[in-house]
Structure 1
Amino acid sequence: MRIAYALLDPGIGVFGTKGASVHVQEVIRAFRADGHEVTVFCTRVNDDIPADLADLEVRRHRLPKGSGAEREQAVAAASAAIAEEIAAGGFDLVYERYSLFSDTAARLSTPAALGGPAIPSILEVNAPLIAEQRQHRSLADEAGALAATQRQLHGATLISCVSEAVAQWTLGEGADPARVVVTPNGVNTRRITPGSRPVIAAGPEAPVTVGFVGTLKPWHGTDVLLRAFARTRGNLRLDICGTGPQQAELEQLAAELDIADRVRFRGAVAPELVPGILHELDIATAPYPAGEHYFSPLKVYEYLAAGLPTVASAIGTIPALLSQGELGVLVTPGDVDELAAALDELAADPAHRDHLARSSRETAVREHDWQIRCRELLAQVEALHSVGALHPAEALHPAEALRPAEAGA
C-alpha cells in the first residue's frame, strides 16, 4: 500500500531529536517494516537523519519565518497544496498527525473536492492542541484553528487518539464515536533492546546510574528528579539525556544542590544514539509533576523495551502502563522524598531490578511494539470499510488496498 504521511506542524521536524519526531519516525518504520511504501509531506525536516530512513521520500513545503497570523495562514495554504499533491499521487491511505490549521486528510475525504476518488485517512491526535497553544505559546486566529480542527475530526476515516482523555476531547469537539479509537504510544523493540550491564547493588566501586530521557520542560518534572536525587543516600549517578528551555536552569539547580559532580547533562542527542545510552543506565525515571496528564509517554515505553526498571509518577496513563506497579515503581507526583526513597531502595535491591527488567522487556515485545499498533490501525480502517462506513457520503478504496503487505502479515 502507498501511504502519504502528512506532518504540517512547523514545530516538529521529521528528522528532529525530540519525542514527537521520534514518534513520527517510528510510525513510518512500522509501516515500512510491513512492506508499505511511505512518502512524507511536511513543513519541517531537520538534519538528524537515521541511516535506515535515508531513503525515505520527504516532500517539504517551506513556510515563511516568524509566527502569528501570517504563519498560521501559511500552514493552511500548505495543507491545501499538500492535499492536491496527494490526490494526484495515487496514494491508498493518508496518515496525518493532527496539526493546527491543517485539514489535509479532510480535504481528501470528499472526492468531488479535488476531482478524484476519496482516500481513506487516519488522523493521529496526540493532544488538544488549541488549548496547548493558547496556554504555552500564542494563537492569532483561534476561530480558524477550531474550524480546521472540526473539519479534520468530521472528515477523517479513523481518529486515533493517544489516550482516553484525548479521545474524550475529540468527542467533545464533535467527532463521531464510531470513528474514534484509543491507540497508546509504542516502541520499536528491534531498535530499543536491553543492554548487557550486570545487575548489582550500589557500592563504593560500582555506582548505580539513574537516567532520564526527554525534553527539559517544566511538565517533565526534571527539577523534582534533581531535588530527589540530592536526598538519596546510596552511591548513585544521574544521567540526563535531552535538552530544552530548562537546561541552564537545571544545571544551576544541580550546582546549588551540590550534586553537579554526580549529574551528567548530555544535551540534545540524535534518536539513533538513544538505544546505546539506555544500555548505560541501571534505573530509568519519569518524574512527572502533579497536574493534567493526557499524553502517553514515549520514554516509558522505551524504558520497558530496554529492560530498565522504572520509577515513575502515578499519573495519567502511567499506572496502567506499569501494571499498577508490577512493571515499575510508582510514586506520588511531585513528592521529592518518596522519589528519593524509591531510587535508594531500587538501587540497593538488584534482584528486584532484575525481575522488573525481564518483565518489562517481555511486556514491551508482546504488547507495545509499533508494528502491533500500526497493524491494528489498518485493521480498524478495513473494518470500517467492511460495514460501508469509511465516509458517510462515499465508498472508498477496495479493502484489498488496506491490508498489510504479505511480507509483514
Structure 2
Amino acid sequence: MPPIILFILKALEGRGAERMVTTLASAYAVMGYRVHILCLEETQDMLLDSRVHYHIVPYAEVFSEQNIEPTSTQSKAYETVARRIDHYVFSRIGTPDLILANIYKINWIMAYSQLPNIVNVVHTALSKQFQHQLLEAPVQTINHLKMVYGTHACSCVSEGARQDLISLIGQITKTTTIYNPCDAASISSNAAQRPRIEQFGLIDKGYIIHVASFDSMKGHRDLLQAYAKSKRKLPLVLVGKGRLEAEIKQLAFQLDISDCVKFLGFQINPYPLIASAALMVLTSKFEGFGYVIIEAQALGVPVISTDCPFGPRELLPTKSLIAVGDIDGLAMLIDYAIDNLTRYIVPLNHQLLPKNIAYQYLAFGSVLSLDKN
C-alpha cells in the first residue's frame, strides 16, 4: 500500500498555512500517496483536491463526550483533544508515515499525541507572535514553547523563522527550513478563471493589490497611511476579510482616500485579481514566509514588501524592501515602483514547485525515522 501522509490543522481557512497544506496535499496525491487532512473546525474557505481525504474531529464533541469542565486548564483540554485525534487516526486512517502539524494551537495539542512521525510546521516568527507574553512572563512562555516545539521535530517555512525558533528554545529538537510550495501551473490556470476583474470596475494593470486577512500583523494601517502620502497614480485594491476590516474602512474615510481604495473581501480565487495588478504590495509587520510574494512571482507581477521578520528578505532583493513602520519610505517606494515596474519583477524560484517541496518533507521525515532506529 502507498504511504500515508496526514496534515493536521485547525480549519481550511483562506490563509498562508492552509494554502501550503492544500497545495502540498495535492502534490502528494499526484505522487500516488494516500493523503488525509484532519481539521478541528468545519470552516472551509479553501478548495480541496478530490483525491485528498478530509476529516473533522471537532472541539465541541471532545469537550462534551469527555466531560471536560470549562474551568479545566487548557493543557488538560488539549491533552484530551490529542487522545481523541490519536484514536480517530489509528481507527479511521491507519498509521501515518508522515504527519505535518500546522499552526501553534495544533502544535500544542500534538505535543500530547502518541502518533508517530510528527513534524511541527512553524509558519510564523514565534518571537513576534508571543512578543507580549515574552515581555510579561518570559520564563513561563519560553518553558511553554519548549514543551510545544521540543516534543517533535520542527520544519520552518523560512530560515529566519528557524533561527528565531532556535533563539527561543535552543537546539532541543531537530529543525530544518522548508519553504512553502508554489503550484505555478495551478495558479496560472486559476488566474484565467473567474472572477473577471471587470466586474469590480478594474482594468488590466490599472491598480495596486494587497492580499491579506485584516489582522494587525498585516499592516493595513501603515499601507493606507503610506498610500495616502503617495501620488496615488493607481487605485489600491484590498483582498481579504478579518476582524479589523471595519476599522480599516473607517481609516480610509478619515484619510480621504475612500474613492481610491476598493475592499473586495475574501476571494476563494484571488489569482485573476493578482495577475492583472500592476503591483503587489505586502506590508506585514512579521511573517513566517509571505505566500503572496511567490504567488505574484509565479504570475510575473512586480512585488514590493516591508522587510519584516522573516520571509520577504529571503524571497526578494533589497531594492524591493522597505523597513517596517517607514510610512514615508513606503510611499516613495510605491511611487517609484509604479514608474519602474519591470525593476520589481522577480522570477519564481523553481525549487519552490510542489513536488520539490514534497520531497524535502519526505527526506526530513526519513532522517527522523533513521534517528529513531
TM-score > 0.5 by shorter chain: yes
1:339 aligns with 2:330: yes
1:368 aligns with 2:364: no
1:303 aligns with 2:296: yes
Q: Provide TM-score, normalisation by structure 2.
A: 0.79
Contact 1:191/1:275, CA 8 A, preserved across alignment: no
Letter in 1 for 2:241: T
1:217 aligns with 2:222: no
SS class of match (2:36): strand
1:276 & 1:72 partners in 2: Cα distance? Answer: 43
SS class of match (1:122): strand
1:187 & 1:55 partners in 2: Cα distance? Answer: 19
SS class of match (1:191): helix
Q: CA deviation at 1:86?
A: 2.8
Q: What's the Cα RMSD here?
A: 3.4
Count residues with an aligned counterpart: 344
Q: Which residue of 1 aligns with 2:16?
A: 19
Q: CA deviation at 1:45?
A: 2.6
2:333 & 2:247 partners in 1: Cα distance? Answer: 25
SS class of match (1:53): coil
Judging changes above 3 Å, is the alpha-carbon distance between structure 1 residues 258 and 67 closer, same or farther for their aligned structure 2 residues? farther
5 Å-filtered alignment, 1:62-81, equals: 62-64=58-60, 69=72, 73-81=76-84
2:141 & 2:348 partners in 1: Cα distance? Answer: 42
Judging changes above 3 Å, is the alpha-carbon distance between structure 1 residues 150 and 107 closer, same or farther for their aligned structure 2 residues? farther
* More off after superposition, 305-314 vs 74-83: 74-83
Q: Which residue of 2 aligns with 1:96?
A: 101
Judging changes above 3 Å, is the alpha-carbon distance between structure 1 residues 128 and 224 closer, same or farther for their aligned structure 2 residues? closer
Judging changes above 3 Å, is the alpha-carbon distance between structure 1 residues 341 and 99 closer, same or farther for their aligned structure 2 residues? closer
Judging changes above 3 Å, is the alpha-carbon distance between structure 1 residues 343 and 71 closer, same or farther for their aligned structure 2 residues? same
Q: Structure 2: which 5+ residue stretches go unaligned? A: 64-68, 134-138, 193-202
2:100 & 2:255 partners in 1: Cα distance? Answer: 46
Letter in 2 for 1:99: Y
Q: Structure 1: which 5+ residue stretches go unaligned? A: 110-118, 137-141, 197-204, 396-409
5 Å-filtered alignment, 1:184-333, equals: 184-193=179-188, 208-270=206-268, 273-289=269-285, 293=286, 295-317=288-310, 318-325=312-319, 329-333=320-324
1:371 & 1:80 partners in 2: Cα distance? Answer: 32
2:227 & 2:247 partners in 1: Cα distance? Answer: 16
2:131 & 2:330 partners in 1: Cα distance? Answer: 32
2:84 & 2:316 partners in 1: Cα distance? Answer: 43
Q: Which residue of 1 aligns with 2:53?
A: 57
* More off after superposition, 278-287 vs 52-61: 52-61
SS class of match (2:207): strand
Letter in 2 for 1:314: D
Q: CA deviation at 1:279?
A: 2.0
Q: Which residue of 1 aligns with 2:158?
A: 163
5 Å-filtered alignment, 1:76-87, equals: 76-87=79-90
Q: CA deviation at 1:210?
A: 0.4
Contact 1:124/1:160, CA 8 A, preserved across alignment: yes
SS class of match (1:46): coil
2:126 & 2:338 partners in 1: Cα distance? Answer: 39
| Structure showing greater relative contact order (alpha-carbon pairs closer than 8 Å, 6 or more residues apart) | 1
1:32 to 26, 29, 35: 29
Judging changes above 3 Å, is the alpha-carbon distance between structure 1 residues 261 and 183 closer, same or farther for their aligned structure 2 residues? same
Letter in 2 for 1:76: E
SS class of match (2:59): coil
Judging changes above 3 Å, is the alpha-carbon distance between structure 1 residues 78 and 306 closer, same or farther for their aligned structure 2 residues? same
Q: CA deviation at 1:218?
A: 1.9
Q: Which residue of 1 aligns with 2:7?
A: 5
SS class of match (2:155): strand
Same amino acid, percent of matched pairs: 19
